Amino acid sequence: MPSEPKRDTESTPQRGSRRGNRRLPRRAAAGRRSFTSTLKALDALATSGAKVSVRINDLDRGTSVLAGDDFVTLPVAGLGAVPLLIEVAAGFESGALDPLEIVERGSVDAVTVAGVWQHLKAPALPLSDLAVLTASTGDALAANILLQRVGLPAVRERIEGLGMRRSALLDRYRDTRGPDDAPHVALGSARELAELFAALVNSQAVSPGVSAQVSEWLSLNHDLSLVASATGLDPFAHENDEHGLLFINKTGRDAGVRVEAGVLAGPRAGVAYALIVCFDDLSIAHRLRAHDAFRVLGTDLMEYVF
């Protein structure tokens, strides 16, 4: 892997945020922007032996607000679906894929690790609906069919084209991983994930149309149990928040792996964030301690943007 990039003195400011005219004049609120609680929670996790990688970028300034081992490549589980969705959206835009193409559920091996299609009676769905299932419920079966349709090499090429040198989609979702299978679905770094989500909301991922489509799919995500738990949003209907909160996210879960990346924007500021925690999942207590760190980050992010 490439050596650690130079630290941020640094990034080109990200323009064109989709928040538009909802942003009120910025006020410093310096005392509320320290992320002290987050640092304390993540330090406790690291001390216990967990691997932690975090990155927060201010969307208006384009600079890093918080970074800790953000260049380290770690397993990211379901976050690997985001570049897959970008490739699918690019195919829809170019005409290489037909959004209404019907695909049979039985065209791939059964997988039960996550999702709802396995519980539905419909034996076939259009590609556009599979993208919605992948983004909203982390549907492994839908994601595997999309991956089969576009091809793993195409997704890897797309990842390279996005400038993500420390990220990779390695394999499809599986119920069990044998010695001949890739050890993880996907790998990534907190820095690249945060930058990818910033690019999506700033219409810079492939094209404005592709960015808007993927952001729309991700805005349907039902998993608001980690960082997003602090937002108070309805997990099943949070596209148009009455308080002017812009939010998209994607989570990833595997044995001993919890990941979330997204964008949170309020009246005072907007941020793109990513947090990866790899821990020994020895008990419910170990798991809840990892989950609590995500929720502490969510609270600090809400104080930053409001």
Confidence at 28, pLDDT banded by 50, 70, 90: very low
Query: Residue 28 corresponds to which amino acid?
Result: A
Q: pLDDT tens digits for 251-263?
A: 999 999 999 999 9
The residue-averaged pLDDT of 33-55 equals 94
Q: What is the reported pTM?
A: 0.89
What is the C-alpha radius of gyration for the chain, rounded to an integer number of angstroms?
18
CATH number of the domain to which 272 belongs? 3.40.710.10
Number of domains in the chain: 1
pLDDT number for residue 27: 39
Residue 23 in this model has a pLDDT that exceeds 80? no
Angstrom distance (rounded) from CA 18 to CA 180: 44
Alpha helices in 162-274 (DSSP H): 190-201, 208-218
> Which residues have a Cβ under 8 Å from the Cβ of 234 and sit 6 or more positions away?
none
Is residue 15 domain-resident?
A: no
pLDDT number for residue 71: 97
Q: pLDDT tens digits for 127-173?
A: 999 999 999 999 999 999 999 999 999 999 999 999 999 999 999 99
Is residue 64 domain-resident?
A: yes
pLDDT number for residue 67: 97
> Cα–Cα distances in Å, from 283 out to 16, 233, 255, 259, 280?
44, 29, 12, 18, 8
Q: What residues make up the domain containing 146? A: 20-305
Is residue 4 domain-resident?
A: no
β-strands 74-75, 63-68 pairing: unpaired
